[in-house]
Amino acid sequence: MEDDKNMNELELEKIKEKALENHIPIIMDDTLEVIAKILTEKKPKRILEIGAAVGYSAMCFSKYLAEDGLIDTIERDEERIEEAKQNFKKVEVENKINLYEGDAVEILPTLSEKYDVVFIDAAKGKYPFFLKEAIRMLNQDGIIFADNILYKGYVMSDYNKHKQRTAVRNLREYIKETTENPNLETEILEVGDGLAISKMKSNTKIESSICNIEFDY
pLDDT digits (tens, 9 = 90+) for 86-127: 999 999 999 999 999 999 999 999 999 999 999 999 999 999
Residue 209, pLDDT score: 36
Residue 185, pLDDT score: 96
Residue 104 and residue 140: Cα distance in Å, rounded?
23
pLDDT band at 160 (very low <50, low <70, confident <90, very high): low
Task: Show contacts of 180-186: CB within 8 Å, 24+ apart.
Answer: 181/135, 181/209, 181/210, 182/209, 183/135, 183/209, 184/135, 184/144
- Structural domain boundaries in the chain: 9-200
| Per-residue pLDDT reduced to its tens digit, 10-42 | 999 999 999 999 999 999 999 999 999 999 999
The CATH number of 9-200 is which of 3.30.70.580, 2.60.40.60, 3.40.50.10470, 3.40.50.150?
3.40.50.150
195-200 and 115-120 strand pairing: unpaired
Residue 24 and residue 53: Cα distance in Å, rounded?
8
**pTM of the full predicted structure?**
0.88
Residue 205, pLDDT score: 52
Residue 2, pLDDT score: 43
Residue 58 and residue 189: Cα distance in Å, rounded?
21
